[in-house]
Amino acid sequence: MEKPATIKDIAKRLNISLSTVSRALRNASDVNPDTKKAVMALSEELNYQPNKLALSLRQKQTHTIGVIVPNLDYVLSLMVRGIDEVALEAGFTVMVCQSNESFGREILNTRRLLESLVDGFIISVSSESKSFDHFKKIQERNLPVVVFDRVTPHLTAPSVRIDNEEGGFVATEHLIEQGYKRIAVLAGPENLGVSNSRMDGYLNALKKHKIKKDPALIVHCDFNQDYAYFATLELLAMKKRPDAIFTISDRMAIGAMLAIKKKGLRMPEDIGLVGFNNEPVTSLVTPTISSVDMPSFELGKAAAKLFIETMHNKENMDLEEKVLKPKLIIRESSQKLPTKK
């Protein structure tokens, strides 16, 4: 393998000093134009590549953003695409790590990204995370941290999220307006803010329409199709079963749908179903599933813009929060057919 060219090779070939080559490559004004032209031509010929790590250390910036996400499912991959698009335009590279919903892996990812000399972090926390000291230590180093999608009150940092409470509210109110009265909710882990916010929206809709909260209809389980499947089977085995189910993710909605079909029930006639995230699968299954749409790509872009703004702003931006609005997409699973006369 050929050894990479260095500025020493250029200086030797042109019989000039190393400092002259260095200044010419930086387009310094005090270098003779002909010398500068010769240096640039030879560097092109030799395919000279500057030592980016050394340059980054001198500038104290690598122009790299560390992104930590729970997984790279459809929704989060869209968010990461949004982050990457804005980062690329601003001259940043994105390094993405998945925690796979593991607190320990989240800590390991944080450490490895720090070792890679990232300029800061954009984070969506894992469902296992109950302590956030590893992120607070980043902030103590004066590195910017932006939290997106899964925002936690236990970490004070600039944040970008959707209005999860509003999403839970519109989903549940839609079911109520369709005539459903005994509405269950498949919520996520109890320690996860995004889950609780969507459930709060569900409770607010019940309260608005004077429907009494029934703890038996509130089920906490992981963001997992299998968990949702078995949780739904238990709900449907109740003496007084629910006539509708709101799930706080579409993966859970698919699990619920499989359980409903297993029991031989029809949607929306026997039971209504609404999910959350508006993943493509919701429009491909039969019946199609109503779902709360998240502007995922835009959320990612907003997170990256806030990171860059935070990085260049000397004022404290820890309380800066951007909230995007969700939208309910109504499909067959919850839209009751008109009564025939």
Q: Which domains does the chain have, with CATH numbers?
A: 7-49 (1.10.260.40), 59-162+296-324 (3.40.50.2300), 164-294 (3.40.50.2300)
For residues 72 and 47, which has the higher predicted lDDT (pLDDT)?
72
* C-alpha closest to that of 147 among 116, 164, 126, 125: 125
Q: What is the CA radius of gyration of the chain?
A: 27
Helix axes 74-89, 296-312, angle to 10 degrees: 40
Distances (CA, A) of 34 to 14, 22, 30, 41: 12, 15, 12, 11
Question: Exposed/middle/buried for 81, CB within 10 Å: 0-12, 13-18, 19+?
Answer: middle
Residue 52 above 70 pLDDT?
Answer: no
Q: Give the predicted TM-score (pTM) of the model.
A: 0.79
* C-alpha closest to that of 136 among 323, 297, 318: 318
* C-alpha closest to that of 246 among 195, 194, 292, 183: 183
Determine the average pLDDT of the residues in 79-101: 94
Element (H, E) at 247: strand 244-247
- Band the pLDDT of 208: cuts 50, 70, 90: very high
Q: What is the pLDDT of residues 116-175, one digit of tens each?
A: 889 999 999 998 888 899 999 898 888 999 999 998 888 999 999 999 999 999 999 999
Q: Are 203 and 238 in contact (CB under 8 A)?
A: no
* C-alpha closest to that of 118 among 140, 143, 82, 139: 143
- Band the pLDDT of 336: cuts 50, 70, 90: confident
